[in-house]
Amino acid sequence: MATPTPATAPTLPPPDDPLVADLVARHDADPERRWTETDVVALGYDPSTVRRAFRRHFGVTFLRYTRQARVGRAFQHLARTHRVIDAQLTAGFESASGFRDAFARLLGVAPQDLVRTHSPLRADWIDTPLGPMVAVASATQLHLLEFADRKALPRELQRLAKDGGGAPALGTTDAIAQVRDELAAYFAGRGAHFETPFVMAGTPFTRTVWRALREIPAGETRSYLDIARAIGRPTATRAVARANGANQIAIVIPCHRVIGADGSLTGYGGGLWRKQRLIAVEAAYAPAGHALDLGL
């Protein structure tokens, strides 16, 4: 089914907090800088205020925001060169142990594990306006697409490694290239339809729920009860919620389009702030009269 062309391209608003906007601009101007709390104080900012502001806007603290960006650069460098020490220095980590720890905290595996592997899967880093995502795919099918700071990501990568014969190797595939292009189009307002083939790794019930999620048009939402009724299991709302939370192919399987029966936002693995913004992005794709009003 074709996705309607939006009348107005969705755009993500810049940080509305001058403090956040200033620190983001400073980070972008010097992405290799290793920020500390002392640096924040030297700019005249209160560290606790900065932490709250960044958590509100990005779901993480400013220091975590900058560290995550550094690990992302290391990830991309490793994918190109497979040289761990070069990636460590590129990302500004002085010690090998600090680099390993930061990498493992984010992805659940050490950097060398993503180099010394013969897995048929490949893992790549995709930057988006809502933060970086990690994609894992075979040559033809997407197996995982998650925001890099999702708490469940390390566990999901470890499960993929166990099921797929080892940690995925760093690199890209046709499936990753396709979903990267589709995500760029989605955030740029050119379309909300994803055609990248993907693997549904779940129970029959879970796969049924995920297929129902794919039937929700962009710009519309459903409640857990709506999904339960749609699959013929009206009393299974809790099971539907669990299946929704088990989704590991974010955006493509649009679990962010499921909200509470009262219209409120409910849990989302990528953070409620992302769920709100994804719904805001998709408002431009909604048929007339169907956009959800969340006060955005």
Alpha helices by DSSP H, 152-194: 153-164, 174-188
Q: CB-based contacts of 216: which residues, under 8 Å, 6+ apart?
A: 222, 254, 257, 258
Cβ atoms of 16 and 24 within 8 Å: the answer is: no
- Marked catalytic residue, from 50, 179, 227, 255: 255
* Helix (H/G/I), strand (E/B), else coil: 258: strand
Active-site residue flag, 212: no
H/E element holding 225?
helix 224-230
Beta bridge pairs of residue 145: 135, 249
The Cβ-side half-sphere exposure at 10, using a 13 Å CA radius, reads 27
Chain centroid, CA 263 distance in Å: 23
Cβ atoms of 292 and 256 within 8 Å: the answer is: no
Alpha-carbon span 137 to 175, nearest angstrom: 6
Query: Which amino acids are annotated catalytic?
Result: 255
